[in-house]
Amino acid sequence: MAAGFATTATMLAFSTYILSTEAEVHKKLQAEIDEHWQDNKKELNYDVIANMSYMDLFLREVLRMYSFSGRTSTNLTSHCSGTIIMPDVYSVHHNVDLWGPEDVNLFIPERHVVKRHPAALLTFGVGPRNCVGMRFAVMVLKISLACLLHTYNILPGEKIRQGMSLRETNVTAPEAINVRLEKRIQ
């Protein structure tokens, strides 16, 4: 089980990586944040964040492309007692039958406009044993990204073109994210 700030921080790291490498996505998300920020007199609250539709699409795509954890079984059986069973979330999230027809390796937030089976996105699990902190984690991510993108542009760092190396423990996380923050003039 993965819980706490590590998973949220990991998703924020993946998000900043994507924003530094996908200029159009960065621009679209920043425009939505600025619009909502201005319309609500610079006050970000639950209702304002919840109405950011592109932010929702963006985070769903980050969660699809960069799943951070699997899930272990909670019941022992006589056939595999003591064995940890982890679902292959990566294969589900990169399955062209579920996430096509666009290339599943491309970052396309708009693919989440299409209604899909609830188990097509397994980042927080599904059913009665899904992550109890899901809503809180997503809200923390949205608020963090809104504040970050309202104040800064996220640009590629010097080594960003080398890609992103992942380390896998109980949480799949980037080794390092090399981005640069540039203060926005408002």
Q: Which CATH number does the domain housing residue 141 bear? A: 1.10.630.10
Mean pLDDT (whole number) for 40-60: 88
> What are 54's two structure tokens?
């592109």
pLDDT at 173 over 80: no
pLDDT of residue 73: 44
pLDDT of residue 80: 63
CA dihedral 102, 105, 109, 115 (to 10 degrees): 60
Average pLDDT of the chain is 83
Q: What is the pTM of this model?
A: 0.84
Report the C-alpha gap between 95 and 58 in whole angstroms: 19
Percentage above 90 pLDDT, the chain: 39
Percentage above 70 pLDDT, the chain: 78
DSSP class of residue 185 equals P
Report the C-alpha gap between 70 and 123 in whole angstroms: 8
pLDDT at 74 over 70: no
Structural domain boundaries enclosing 87: 5-183
pLDDT at 96 over 90: yes
Highest mean pLDDT: which range of 4-13, 31-40, 101-110, 129-138: 101-110
- What is the domain count for the chain? 1
CB 179 within 8 Å of CB 154: yes
pLDDT of residue 1: 41
